[in-house]
Structure formats: C-alpha cells, structure tokens
Amino acid sequence: MTAAAILEGPVTAGVSIRPLLEIDGVSHVYRSALGTETTALDGVSLSVARGEFVCLLGPSGCGKTTLLNMIAGFVTPSSGRITVDGETVRGPSPSRGVVFQDYSLFPWLTAGQNVAFGPRMAGQGPAARRQTARELLALVGLPDAADRYPAELSGGMKQRVAIARALATDPAVLLMDEPFAALDAMTRAALQRQLLAIHEARSKTVLFVTHNIAEAITLGDRVVVLSPHPGRVAADVTVDLPRPRRRTAPGFNALYAHLADAIGAETTE
Ligand code: ADP
Ligand code: MG
C-alpha cells in the first residue's frame, strides 16, 4: 500500500473507499435585509461514493437548491463542512459541473461555444476545445447543433447542451438542480435515459435534485429525502431495482409509497 493510499483511509483491493463527496453537519441560514432569518438547512450530513448516482428528493422549499449551491461553491455554509475528493469546497471549481433548471446557456454563444466555454477558461486551445465540444454534443445526441444559438433550440435540446457544457471540464461530480422539471413527459424520459447512459459510459458521480418521486426512483442508485422547515435528511434509501426502471415493475410502487411517506406528501406530480 502506498503512503498516499494510507493517508486516504481504508482501502479495498487497492481502491480507496473514501467518499468522493462528504457533507458534514451542514446548516445554512439566510438573513434578509430586515433581519429575518430562514434556516434553510439544519445539520445535513451525506456521503456520496465515487461513481454513485444519488437523487436528492424533497418538496419545494426544503433546501435542495441551497445544498446544491453550497456543493457547487456558490453559497457558503453557515456551519459544517463540504469536501470533494478530500478538499474543502471554498468556491466554484471546474471539478464540479452544474446543470440548472432554467436553461442557463449563454444566449450570445452558439451551442458549441457554450460547451467549449469551460475548456476555454481553463486555457485549452481553439482546436482542442472545438473537438471537445463536438464529442460532447454527439454524446448528448446533438451532433449537428454546434453552430446553433440557444434561441434556436427546444427546451430539451438546451438541457442537452447544458449537460454537455457541464461535462466539458471533465468534473469529478455532476450537480443537477431539477434539470428536467420544465420539460414535457416524453422529452424528460428521453433525457433521463440519456443521462443514465452518460453516467454509465463516463462513470460520473451525479447528485441530482428533484421534487418528483418517480424521477428519483427511475434514476438513483440511492434516494436521499430532505424534509422541510428546516431542511433535514429524513430518509436515505438504496434503490435495489434493475434498470431500466418502469413504473409497472415489481417494487416500484412500494418504493414510491415509502418515499411519499418519508416526504410527508400525498404525491408531488
Ligand atoms: P428548494 O430548492 O428545495 O425549493 P431552496 O434551497 O430554494 O429550496 O430554499 C430553502 C429555503 O430557503 C426556503 O424557505 C426559501 O424560501 C429560503 N431561501 C432560498 N433562497 C433564499 C434567499 N436567497 N434568501 C432568503 N431565503 C432564501
Ligand atoms: Mg430548488
């Protein structure tokens, strides 16, 4: 065993089992200009292993976006600590790719230029980043969209470009905040399938926020339920169903009922 491996902690067959992402007792309090305080999250702890696909499920207002923004480095925790690959998060980093719900593409850049943006910031040359953009647009099923502007793309296509853009810096973890919530059911199902294919092909670690129970079961290796006011981890459930997961498959409905109960909701659809 190497010294580095020993420092990393326990190992199995030479592979470190240190979680990729560790959220340790994280709380966040928003303070308004008038002095009112909202405790968005209270003592949230969560570990995500390398290569794992974890869905963060909870009703509107339970702190999902706040938590994702803290992992992304956009928001600083009021207390607690977040580490990615052993490094404390202190701000945004290309090692954490983010996909937002609203299509946050740069409208003045083409799809190809949007995808190439991160590599450009990282100093990659024009030919290499054009190649990166071409490959990633093909990966998300848009091989011919490089020269089109966001305004010329459908909602589903924009989110495909956003996923390609988030992957362009080869991040250790992909953070996704209700990325498919605004899409119609068929487009959403197509993007879910594609995301799972990318997750497998690239062995990406994914933290995927949703308020949709069926989506969480369809996608996640694990579903972590946040309860609101203040946001706390209410359940952490391993999804032990074979993929692709259809609503008619045995076990789906039982898990759905269990998660709905954990959320304390009737349904969220
Ligand atoms: P979710 O994404 O689960 O809907 P959020 O993280 O957006 O939840 O919000 C969690 C709580 O924090 C809510 O009560 C919300 O009103 C509050 N909140 C979110 N952002 C701010 C902000 N910038 N200022 C004050 N309160 C906020
Ligand atoms: Mg949100």
d(CA 217, CA 67): 20
Ligand nearest to the CA of 228: 1
Strand partners, 48: 21
95 three-class SS = coil
* pLDDT for 140: 94
Does ligand 1 lie within 6 Å of residue 210's CB atom? no
Does ligand 1 lie within 6 Å of residue 101's CB atom? no
Place of tokens 């093909």: 138
Does ligand 1 lie within 6 Å of residue 58's CB atom? yes
* pLDDT for 17: 72
Does ligand 1 lie within 6 Å of residue 61's CB atom? yes
Query: Which of 2-16, 41-55, 86-100 comes out lowest in average pLDDT?
Result: 2-16
Ligand nearest to the CA of 66: 1
d(CA 129, CA 70): 28
pLDDT tens digits, 43-77: 999 999 999 999 999 999 999 999 999 999 999 99
pLDDT tens digits, 233-252: 999 999 999 999 988 988 99
* pLDDT for 103: 74
Q: What is the percent of the chain with per-residue pLDDT over 90, rounded to a whole number?
A: 86
Q: Does domain 4-95+171-263 have CATH number 3.40.50.300?
A: yes
CA 242 to chain centre: 21
Burial class (CB within 10 angstroms; exposed 0-12, middle 13-18, buried 19+) of 57? buried
Q: Which residue's CA is the closest to the ligand 1 atom numbered 25?
A: 30
* pLDDT for 6: 44
Q: Which residue's CA is the closest to the ligand 1 atom numbered 27?
A: 30
Q: What does pLDDT average to over the chain?
A: 91
Name 156's Cβ contacts closer than 8 Å, sequence gap at least 6. Answer: 183, 187, 190, 191
Does ligand 1 lie within 6 Å of residue 60's CB atom? yes
**Interval 163-184 mean pLDDT:** 95
d(CA 139, CA 163): 10
Nearest atom, ligand 1, residue 229 CA: 14
Nearest atom, ligand 1, residue 28 CA: 12
Residue 25, pLDDT above cutoff 90: yes
Strand partners, 82: 23
Written as six digits, the tokens of 172 are 């250790």
Instruction: Tell me the domain boundaries of the chain.
Output: 4-95+171-263, 107-170
What's the chain's length in residues? 269
